[in-house]
Amino acid sequence: MPFEVAINRKYQDKVKPGDGRFWDFNMTFQNETITLPHFVNAIVQGHAWTAPHHHERHHRPRRDNPDYQTSYRVKANVIGSQLLALDSDTEDERSSFAGLLADTFISRYAAVIHASASSTWSRPRSRVIFTLDDVLSPDEYELALQALLFRYPFCDQSVKHAAAVFFGARGCAYCLLRQVLPVSVLRDEILRPYLAYLEQQEQIREAARQRRLTTARTITSAPADQVAAYVRHAREAVLDELAFTNVGLGLRHSLLFEGALQLASLHAAPWVTEEARMLLANFEEDLFESAVHNGYVTDYGEEDAWRTIEDGADIGARRPYDEPTWYAADEYFHVGDAVEAVIGDEVVARGHIRRFREREHGEFELDSRPHTWFARTLLRRAPSARPSTYPSA
């Protein structure tokens, strides 16, 4: 059964972000109608593949580049896909052919399993590819990638967007199974459990919020200035953490993606006032500037940075941010407020509010105690007669 896929036959092996060829790499995929054996042959020759897409550039004006145009490999160009893939990079039995084939779903429906370029016999890494009996729309394709990762949490969790690229592996070993995954089975066995999980998680969050509402002095609708303060502080926390993340920790890419997801989710939330939403009007450019500050753009290039931001923002826009618990004004703390943390009758910390986050209850970090989070119930305002000696956040 032939299917359509975009293959880059100009390049072999990996062309990574930061490589001077990366822009051209993203512009030179060609849509092909191909059969499975010929597709596997392209993989074994080291050619990368991705979802079929239109060859169009999109004008995405940036603060620093009003004339910025995307490359071809962006979700806006994706036509659809008849292929799904999982990358298992655990370097243990789970990533061996035998370990993967022990899974009944994979053994029943996978089209091919092949070793990754960096795989060895002692440290196996593999990719499982499924061919579908029908084409998925870009949105359902992206959802299917995410649902597969939910089903197989040990696989590479970063491959979850419609414009994802899968690199070939020159001379790799492979197991040609020739199975076809019916879309009806995909929806029943993969998508349905994942969607049920998302719904369950939403119900759990809402139940936790209702418990907080019954145990704390709260208000059901916050004043506009309190909503704006919440959004402003959330934005600043995301941007500051990204901007000051050091090289070598392996965190910059994930923080850029997750930051875009969080701020887009916040921007899409129905409870956010228009005033507060204006604070997020340029969040993509703000994230890019933070990525410039921490050296990510220098190391990996503008194309990869913008792609990462857009991938995260696209997912976040479809997952509106849960409304936080609003506390009465005299119990709600803002960044910069001078407070004391009290356990029993002992003051265990003094400082200014640096960051906050929403968990089972509101939690706050003080500038005097980095990376220590205090529940809101443990904090009180510092007496004005005894101001904090710590500098303002």
> pLDDT tens track of the chain, all 393 residues?
899 999 999 999 999 887 889 899 999 999 999 999 999 999 999 999 999 999 999 887 777 778 888 889 988 899 999 999 999 999 999 999 999 999 999 999 999 999 999 999 999 999 999 999 999 999 999 999 999 999 999 999 888 889 999 999 999 999 999 999 999 999 999 999 999 999 998 898 888 777 766 665 566 667 788 888 889 888 988 998 888 888 777 788 889 999 999 999 999 999 899 888 998 988 988 998 899 888 888 888 888 888 888 888 888 888 888 887 776 655 567 778 899 999 888 899 999 988 887 765 678 889 998 888 898 888 888 875 344 443 333
C-beta of residue 148 within 8 angstroms of C-beta of residue 86: yes
313 plus 337 within the same structural domain? no
12 plus 159 within the same structural domain? yes
Distances in whole angstroms, Cα of residue 118 to Cα of each of 114, 126, 170, 242: 12, 9, 10, 30
pLDDT for the residue 107: 96
Flag whether 323 is in a domain.
Answer: no
Beta-bridge partners for 31: 6
Record the tokens describing residue 20, joined without a space. Answer: 């001077």
Flag whether 355 is in a domain.
Answer: yes
Flag whether 15 is in a domain.
Answer: yes
User: What span, in angstroms and rounded, lies between the C-alpha atoms of 6 and 162?
Assistant: 12
Could you give the number of structural domains in the chain? 3
Token look-up 């929806």 returns 187
Last residue of a domain, one of 149, 171, 189: 189
Last residue of a domain, one of 189, 205, 233: 189
20 plus 157 within the same structural domain? yes
User: What span, in angstroms and rounded, lies between the C-alpha atoms of 51 and 47?
Assistant: 14
73 plus 180 within the same structural domain? yes
250 plus 337 within the same structural domain? no
pLDDT for the residue 388: 40
Q: What b/e string do you get for 106-130 counting C-beta neighbours within 10 Å, with b at 16 or more? A: beebbbbbbbbbebeeeebbbbbbb
Q: Give the DSSP letter string of 256-319.
A: HHHHHHHHHHHHH-TTS-HHHHHTTTTHHHHHHHHHHHTTHHHHHHHHHHHHHHHHHHHHHHTS
**Dihedral angle over CA of 233, 239, 243, 245, nearest 10:** 80
185 plus 304 within the same structural domain? no
pLDDT for the residue 389: 40
Last residue of a domain, one of 289, 317, 345: 317
227 plus 87 within the same structural domain? no
37 plus 168 within the same structural domain? yes
Which residue range is the domain that position 342 belongs to?
333-381
Report pTM: 0.71
27 plus 114 within the same structural domain? yes
Closest CA to 324 of 196, 214, 231: 231
CATH of the domain at 345: 2.30.30
User: What span, in angstroms and rounded, lies between the C-alpha atoms of 303 and 193?
Assistant: 35
150 plus 266 within the same structural domain? no
Tell me the one-letter amino acid at 186. Answer: L
377 plus 307 within the same structural domain? no
Strand-strand pairing, 165-166 and 174-176:
unpaired
110 plus 66 within the same structural domain? yes
CA 53 to chain centre: 22
CA 185 to chain centre: 26
